[in-house]
Amino acid sequence: MEYRIAVLPGDGIGPEVTEQALLVLEQVGRRFGHSFRFGKLLAGGCAIDATGTPLPKETLDECMKSDAVLLGAMGGPKWDSLPGDKRPEAGLLGLRGSLGLFANLRPAILNKELRDASTLRPDVIGESMDIMVVRELTGGIYFGERGRRAGKMGQEAYDTESYSVGEVERIARIAFEIARKRSGKVTSVDKANVLESSRLWREVVTEVARDYPDVALEHMYVDNAAMQLVRNPKQFDVIVTTNMFGDILSDEASMITGSIGMLPSASLAEGRFGLYEPIHGSAPDIAGQDKANPLATILSVAMMLRYTMQLEDEARAVEKAVDRVLEEGYRTGDIMSPGKKLVGTREMGMLVAGYI
């Protein structure tokens, strides 16, 4: 098969880590007989410098014509003083909105080789951790009606949380489908004891669950979920939740793993189109020094193989190659510990590609 991938390396360490992810993808192509065509495009700060806008039309057009998008990272101090709509982050938001990416998948995986990096005690975290947070990305309070008005106690400001049946149904289906391929449990997180939008959320998720009798569903209030994540994270498999609750819980879950350079993400649209990116930023402090950990971006490519291309064996091959490199003791600076072998960005990429 031939696949077309729009590659947006972006700023800071973005170009370094995407280069290694593409190296791994090319090796997957050779090994499994696929052809990947990459179109490299400007986005973020580098696009502002070259064209005056963080998301040039040419970039968006190419993304829309592609099967998937691979993004490095956007932003950095050079562009921090620009007004909001001219900043690199505006490019990222524009991209998400224009591409209709409504489902954000954030795995929080603690590799057993790196369990010392966790902020939780070994008896709480156990050998390893593997949670998938599925966050609704284009609805809810971040997109609801907002404004200011005169109130009894002076000016008031408001933001509106609202969800439709269709919006909840499509994100719930994504969560159940994913749970089916994992250990078969979905925890739906809401605040149904207080919010009407959460009561609708709960009703719709319960209804969708009828189509997935092989998946266990539990409902949890968001305040309890925040506590349970640090009390006993191993009880979770797939968490599905709203845009705002997901924003907070996905960061909480990923920080439990302690290694920002290891965590991938996917944002999916209807059909199989998706945007894949590491959760970390452009790390200007280490950019251009061959110090960045490319594994989060490499694991984002594994997610691309799984969710857009439906190539499960190829996705597993990438994940296994990463496990193997860690088992052999290779580490970039951010995950280094005594007795391990320190390698740079390029060597880490070559090692993973070598094990495909």
Among 285, 312, 313, 327, contact with ligand NAD (rule: CB under 6 A): 285
Using CB under 6 A as the binding rule, whether residue 334 contacts ligand NAD is answered as yes
Residue 121, Cβ neighbours under 10 Å: how many? 7
Q: Is 334 a catalytic residue?
A: no
List the one residue out of 203, 178, 155, 140 whose CA is nearest residue 268. Answer: 178
- To ligand NAD, the closest distance from the beta carbon of 298 in angstroms equals 10
Q: Find the binder of ligand NAD among 192, 286, 301, 325 (CB under 6 A).
A: 286
For the chain, the distance separating the N- and C-terminal CA atoms, rounded to the nearest angstrom, is 18
Among 60, 74, 103, 318, binds ligand NAD (CB under 6 A): 74
Phi-psi region of 339 (alpha: psi -120 to 50; beta: other; left: phi over 0): left
Sheet harboring 264-268: ordered strands across?
Answer: 35-40, 2-10, 68-73, 274-278, 264-268, 103-110, 129-136, 238-241, 185-190, 216-221
Q: Which is nearer to ligand NAD, 137 or 204 (CB)?
A: 137
Residue 284 Cβ vs ligand NAD, minimum distance, rounded to whole Å: 6
**Nearest-angstrom CA–CA distance, 287 and 275:** 23
Among the listed ranges 55-63, 146-154, 279-287, 299-307, the one in contact with ligand NAD (CB under 6 A) is: 279-287
Residue 269 · residue 99 · CB < 8 Å: yes
Taking contact as CB under 6 A, which single stretch among the options 120-128, 185-193, 229-237, 286-294 is the one that binds ligand NAD? 286-294
Residue 283 interacts with ligand NAD (CB under 6 A): yes or no:
yes
The reply to whether 323 belongs to the active site is: no
Among 9, 75, 139, 264, binds ligand NAD (CB under 6 A): 75
DSSP state of 109: E
- Which of 66, 293, 300, 308 lies at the binding interface for ligand NAD (CB under 6 A)? 293
Q: Report 29-68 residues binding ligand NAD (CB under 6 A).
A: none
Of positions 280, 302, 306, 326, contacts ligand NAD by CB under 6 A: 280
The smaller minimum CB distance to ligand NAD, of residues 18 and 242, is found at: 18
Q: At which residue do the structure tokens 């291309």 appear?
A: 309
Query: x/- string (CB under 6 A) for ligand NAD, residues 81-110?
Result: --------x--x------------------
Tell me how far CA of residue 289 lies from CA of 16, 20, 309, 332, 334, in angstroms: 9, 14, 33, 12, 13
- With beta carbons less than 8 A apart as the criterion, state whether 28 and 318 touch: yes
Provide the pairing of β-strand 68-73 with 129-136.
Answer: unpaired
Give the C-alpha distances (Å, rounded to integers) separating 254 from 80, 105, 140, 259, 265.
25, 12, 22, 8, 11
For this structure, is 251 an active site residue? yes
223 is catalytic: yes
Is position 261 an interface residue for ligand NAD (rule: CB under 6 A)?
A: yes
> Residue 349, interface with ligand NAD (CB under 6 A)?
no
Residues carrying an active site annotation = 142, 191, 223, 247, 251
Write out the residues near ligand NAD by the rule CB under 6 A. 13, 17, 73-76, 89, 92, 260-261, 277, 280-286, 292-293, 296, 334
